[in-house]
Amino acid sequence: MSVLRDNGAMTRPAHPEPTTATVKQLFAHAFRCAEPNCTRPLYRQDDATGELILNSRIAHIHARRSGGPRWIQMTTDANRAPDNLLLLCIEHSYEIDERAGSYPADLLREWKAAQIAEYEQLARNWPLSDVDAGRVLEASAQARTQQHADAVVALVRAVRRLTLETRRARSGPAAHAAAWRALIEQTHRSMPMWDDEGERIYVEPSRNETNQCKAALLKALGTARTSLDPTADAVKVELAAVQASRPSTRPWTDWVSTAVDDALTASGTWPGLPALEDNTGLEDTLRELERACDALTAAWRGESSSPPPTRTEATPSLPEPDPLQAHRALLDLARPYSRVRHKPYEPELRAQLADAAGSAAGIPPVLSALGVGLSTTCSLAAAVAANATDEQLADLAMHDAARGPLSAAVQLLAETARTAGNRGRDIARTQAEAALVDLWESIDFADSECFNSVDANGASVLHHGARISSPDLARQRLEAALASSPELLLPMVSYCAEWVEKVNSDDWRPVGMARRYRELPAWFPTAAVVAAAHQIDLSDIKVDSLAKPTLTTPNHCSRRYCG
Residues forming the site for Zn ion (CB under 5 A): 33, 35, 38, 40, 89, 92
Q: How far is the CB of 314 from Zn ion (least distance, A)?
A: 44
Return d(Cα 296, Cα 253) in angstroms, integer: 7
The least distance separating Zn ion from the CB of residue 281, rounded to whole angstroms, comes to 47
CB of 89 to Zn ion, least distance (A): 3
User: 281-301 vs 144-169: helix axis angle to the nearest 10?
Assistant: 170
Shortest approach of Zn ion to residue 92 CB, angstroms? 4
Measured from the Cβ of residue 11, the count of other Cβ atoms closer than 10 Å reads 7
Least spacing, CB of residue 160 vs Zn ion, in Å: 35
Handedness of CA 535, 538, 543, 548 (dihedral sign): negative
Cα(157)–Cα(154) distance, rounded to whole angstroms? Answer: 5
Q: How far apart are CA 268 and CA 223, in angstroms?
A: 8
Interatomic CA distance for residues 260 and 252, integer angstroms: 12
Q: DSSP letter string over 439-475?
A: HHHH--TTSGGGS-TT-TTHHHHHHHHHHHS-HHHHH
- Among residues 40 and 327, whose Cβ is nearest to Zn ion? 40
The pair phi, psi for residue 526, each rounded to 5°, is -55, -50
Nearer to Zn ion, 59 or 184 (CB): 59
Shortest Å distance, C-beta 88 to Zn ion: 6
- Shortest gap between Cβ of 261 and Zn ion (angstroms)? 34
Q: Which DSSP helix (H) or strand (E) runs through 274?
A: none
**Could you tell me the smallest distance in angstroms from the CB atom of residue 319 to Zn ion?**
51
Nearer to Zn ion, 32 or 64 (CB): 32
Closer residue to Zn ion (CB): 35 or 97: 35
**38 vs 276 by CB, closer to Zn ion:** 38
Answer yes or no: are the C-beta atoms of 4 and 11 closer than 8 Å. Answer: no
Do residues 56 and 90 make contact, with C-beta atoms less than 8 angstroms apart? yes
For residue 33, the minimal CB distance to Zn ion (Å) is 3
> Cis bond leading into 104, ω under 30°?
no
In the bound state with Zn ion, the residue whose beta carbon lies nearer, of 92 and 403, is: 92
**Residue 56 vs 452, nearer CB to Zn ion:** 56
Question: In sequence order, what DSSP letters do the residues of 480-546 get, joined into one string?
Answer: HHHHH-GGGHHHHHHHT-EEEEEE-SSSS-EEEEEEE-SS--TTS-HHHHHHHHHHS--TTS-HHHH
The CA-CA-CA angle for residues 24, 28, 30, to 5°, reads 120
Q: 366 vs 276, 516, 524, 542, CA distance in Å?
A: 23, 11, 20, 25
Query: CA 235 to CA 162: how far, in whole Å?
Result: 8
Length of the chain: 563
**Of 102 and 442, CB closest to Zn ion:** 102
Nearer to Zn ion, 89 or 369 (CB): 89
Nearest distance, CB of residue 86 and Zn ion, angstroms: 11
Give the residue with the Cβ less far from Zn ion, 136 or 468. 136
